[in-house]
Amino acid sequence: MDQQRDHENITELDQQLKGSNQSNMRAYNERLVLSLVRRNGQLPKMKLAQMTGLSAQTVSVIMRSLEADGLLIKGEPVRGKVGQPSVPLSLNPNGVFFLGLKIGRRSSELILVDFLGQVKQKVIHPYPFPEPDDIEKFALKSIKKFETDLGETASKIAGLGIAMPFELWNWAEAIGTSTDKMENWKTYDIQKILSHSCSYPVYLQNDATAACGAELAFGTNQTKRDFAYFYIGTFIGGGLVINGSLFIGKNGNAGALGSMLINDKAGDTKQLIDEASIVTFEKQLQEAGIDPSPLWNMENGWQALNQTINPWIERVANGLAQAIISTTALIDQEATVIDGAFPEHVRSRIVTATQEAIKNYNQQGIEQQIICEGSLGTVARALGGASLPLFDRYLVDQNTSLNQ
């Protein structure tokens, strides 16, 4: 994330973030300061006072407290024409750490990230299908290693976030295994189990929603106020950012964009998940007698499939175009962000194809679409897991009223 930004231009989103000078609002104000510094990079005291509406004295107290806690660090003084030099503060990368565990249909991944979202350690565990006991052993072994490597600074781990598809047992046939091998997921509470072995909080969220949170916390689209987010993995999913905060809904299922109804090229009604998922491409390759295993090789595997990818991209773009129009009609988002578990050149082609496909549909009554790329790619879901403790403990949720 670029920490050097033009601080003279306060975004519309930042203008809405206001603090309170009441003493009982200190925890909220600290989160507010951290949120603004994260989004804008280095900020001096007077700029923060201007942005938050807090008094200079209150901001000074907050900044000293956050600096004492190791969450903020001072930059080089900037001297103006008059008065005392301005001292900007920025996030301390080593002030706090987060763990993110992605549980996927083909592999699990555990990462350790710093306060800026930079991945410090990563380990991947591939498999033909996810088994609870196997993933538990992988997670516990990897967590222990990360903690050992951190040494005394392991005490700075603020939490572990798990990003995984909900109701994994329903996808047995689609990932090529039997239903009975996935039945254990119905009663297996991995969040509770890992909590017993961790000295910090453990969080759980749908993997695509978590990936959306990662884009908001660590990606290049974090200054956007509202956006719909589509993540194309083995199965496509999504998330919603409303008023600068991740919106998950009452049951955590808001932004289940893969369930949206669309029409395929034949005019038949399908769910988006049936048209715009990597597993759809996998089936296309299998039907053509082509080995689909390169799909799971992020380094160069997709290059070998360039001659066969066009029909799939067309299907994905057609489905996304319809889903984007429907989503916009409901929430009138500023932009739509598309990312996925594939190389950047594939992502770019999908975005371009979607921008063209949407022109084929009636958009009367809604604004012209801004369709752009996500910025995190294959690590988005694991980073999304790591972002869960960050959101819970260090950032402001604009969708939660201060009066609650």
Kindly state the average pLDDT of the residues 266-288.
95
Kindly state the average pLDDT of the residues 96-119.
96
Q: Is the pLDDT of residue 401 over 60?
A: no
This prediction's pTM: 0.89
pLDDT at residue 157 in the model: 98
pLDDT at residue 109 in the model: 97
* pLDDT tens string 313-347: 999 999 999 999 999 999 999 999 999 999 999 99
* pLDDT higher at 6 or 353: 353
pLDDT band of residue 9 (cuts 50, 70, 90) is: very low
State what percent of residues in the chain have pLDDT above 70. 89
pLDDT band of residue 22 (cuts 50, 70, 90) is: low
* pLDDT higher at 309 or 7: 309
pLDDT at residue 155 in the model: 97
What phi, psi does 98 have (nearest 5°)?
-135, 150
* pLDDT tens string 43-54: 999 999 999 999
pLDDT at residue 356 in the model: 97
Average pLDDT, the chain: 89
Domains of the chain: 12-91 (1.10.10.10), 97-211+383-394 (3.30.420.40), 220-375 (3.30.420.40)
